[in-house]
């Protein structure tokens, strides 16, 4: 049997412009795909309307172009994928895996214990009658230990019920959850390699649970070290990380390549030279171990 051709992606949320942390994820996923003659796709994760900043989706694409990224197929927008998410939700419903939850934030905060990625919902609404008011929909997770081998982090294992709990698939306001959307879309786009920041490592067991229940393949995962600011927080739009400068693509790319452990000797002097050099120079083995570059490094109970 021949191995499926590499298909990777970059999937930014348009909650603001790209910043250096996003550039590292874009570059890592791009180089990993291109160095294996793979396809690289762009998906705009605009599933959650209140989080979408006006103009951000276009701005992200202009920045990626200015930096020399080329995507192979039309951009997929999550805002146009409601039917596919509903179909997946239906499949889970038919398996008896979906139930409405009308717990308030306060009730959630009181009942939950802390898991690998925030509060673990104790299943309060599992056997309650269907509420009359709009409710969130949760997945009744199986009592299973989810294990996978991340190319960078090694073996990761997680007891999904006790460490993550029943998670939300659709909010009470009708917005589909990231976990559902990402799994459905990766399958739709035939993604078989996911390269993204290690801040999403704790989400991956939930994605694998959904893939299994929906009968979808599980891609290969590579979680990159997260870029931290001077206070040890992840660079993010919420912490007002500086937007990438479209007129300073080369220095930005060089800095991102250096963050990923690459060394130019000398560094390329133009954008076209950069890409000519970077694709064959890429090796995942150059990336430094996670420890010390991510706030949860070494203390992540998800890691075994
Ligand atoms: N949309 C997510 C973000 O911008 C990334 C999702 C993913 O790569 O799976 O952080």
Q: What is the pLDDT of residues 92-116, one digit of tens each?
A: 999 999 999 998 888 887 777 788 8
The Cα 44–Cα 32 span in angstroms is 20
Pocket test for ligand 1, best of 41, 46, 78, 200 (most atoms within 8 A of CB): 200
Q: Does 200 sit in the ligand 1 pocket, CB within 6 Å? A: yes
Our mutation pick for probing the ligand 1 site, out of 8, 9, 13, counting the most ligand atoms within 8 A of Cβ, is 13
- Does 266 sit behind a cis peptide bond, omega within 30 degrees of 0 on the bond before it? yes
Q: How far is the CA of 13 from the centre of ligand 1 (A)?
A: 6
> Would you say the CB of residue 196 lies under 6 angstroms from ligand 1?
yes
Å from CA of 122 to ligand 1 middle: 26
Our measurement of the distance from residue 63's CA atom to the centroid of its chain's CA atoms, rounded to an integer in Å, reads: 20
Ligand 1 pocket member 28 (CB < 6 A): no
Q: Does the pLDDT value for residue 51 go beyond 80?
A: yes
Confidence of residue 1 (pLDDT cuts 50, 70, 90): low
Q: Are 17 and 244 in contact (CB under 8 A)?
A: yes
Q: For position 25, what pLDDT does the model report? A: 97
pLDDT (average), residues 260-266: 95
117 lines ligand 1 (CB under 6 A): no
DSSP string of 233-292, one letter each residue: PBP-TTTTPPBPPTT-HHHHHHHHHHHTT---TTPPSSHHHHHHHHHHH--GGGSPPSTT
Cα Rg, the chain, nearest whole Å: 20
Q: Is the pLDDT of residue 295 over 50?
A: no
Q: What one-character-per-residue DSSP string does 250-265 give?
A: HHHHHHHHHHTT---T
Q: What is the pLDDT of residues 153-184, one digit of tens each?
A: 999 999 999 999 999 999 999 999 999 999 99
For residue 300, is pLDDT > 60?
A: no
Report the range of poorest mean pLDDT among 17-31, 45-59, 113-127, 205-219. 113-127
Give the domain ranges of the chain: 7-80+182-298, 83-170
Same fold across 7-80+182-298 and 83-170: yes
Architecture of 7-80+182-298 per CATH?
A: 3-Layer(aba) Sandwich (3.40)
Quickly list DSSP for 156-200.
Answer: EEEEHHHHTBS-EEE-TTSPBPHHHHHHHHHHHTT--EEEEEGGG
Residue of 30, 45, 47, 64 to mutate, ligand 1, most atoms within 8 A of C-beta: 45
64-78: per-residue pLDDT in tens? 999 999 999 999 999
CB 48 within 8 A of CB 175: yes
Q: Cα–Cα distance between 303 and 154 in angstroms, integer? A: 8
CB 45, CB 178: distance < 8 Å: yes
Tell me how far apart the alpha carbons of residues 7 and 5 are, in angstroms, rounded to a whole number: 6
Q: Which residue has the higher pLDDT, 250 or 128?
A: 250
Would you say how long the chain is, in residues? 304
Of 9-13, 269-273, 296-300, least confident by mean pLDDT is 296-300
Q: What CATH number does the domain located at 83-170 have?
A: 3.40.50.620
CB-ligand 1 contact for 137 (6 Å cutoff): no
pTM attached to this predicted model: 0.92
Q: Is the pLDDT of residue 298 over 50?
A: no
Element (H, E) at 65: helix 56-66
| Ligand 1 center from residue 128 Cα (angstroms) | 33
């Amino acid at each position: 049997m021949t191995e499926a051709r590499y298909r990777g992606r970059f999937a930014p949320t348009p909650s603001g412009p790209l910043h250096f942390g996003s550039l590292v994820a874009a570059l890592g996923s791009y180089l990993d795909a291109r160095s294996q003659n793979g396809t690289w796709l762009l998906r705009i994760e605009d599933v959650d309307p209140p989080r979408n900043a006006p103009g951000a989706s276009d701005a992200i694409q202009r920045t990626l172009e200015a930096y020399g990224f080329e995507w192979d197929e039309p951009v997929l927008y999550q805002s146009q994928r409601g039917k596919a998410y509903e179909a997946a939700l239906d499949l889970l419903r038919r398996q008896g895996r979906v139930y409405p939850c009308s717990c308030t934030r306060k009730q959630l905060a009181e009942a939950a214990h802390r898991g690998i990625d925030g509060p673990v919902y104790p299943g309060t609404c599992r056997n309650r009658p269907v509420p009359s008011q709009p409710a969130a929909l949760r997945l009744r997770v199986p009592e299973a230990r989810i294990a996978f081998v991340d190319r960078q982090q090694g073996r990761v294992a997680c007891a999904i019920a006790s460490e993550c709990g029943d998670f939300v698939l659709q909010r009470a306001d009708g917005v589909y959850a990231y976990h559902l959307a990402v799994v459905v879309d990766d399958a739709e786009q035939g993604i078989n390699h996911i390269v993204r920041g290690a801040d999403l490592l704790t989400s991956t067991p939930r994605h694998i649970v959904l893939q299994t229940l929906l009968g979808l393949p599980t891609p290969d995962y590579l979680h990159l070290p997260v870029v931290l600011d001077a206070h040890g927080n992840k660079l993010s739009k919420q912490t007002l990380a500086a937007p990438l400068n479209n007129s300073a693509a080369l220095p930005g790319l060089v800095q991102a390549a250096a963050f990923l452990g690459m060394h130019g000797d000398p560094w390329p002097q133009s954008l076209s030279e950069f890409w000519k050099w970077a694709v064959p120079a890429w090796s995942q083995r150059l990336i430094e171990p996670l420890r010390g570059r991510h706030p949860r490094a070494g203390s992540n109970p998800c890691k075994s």
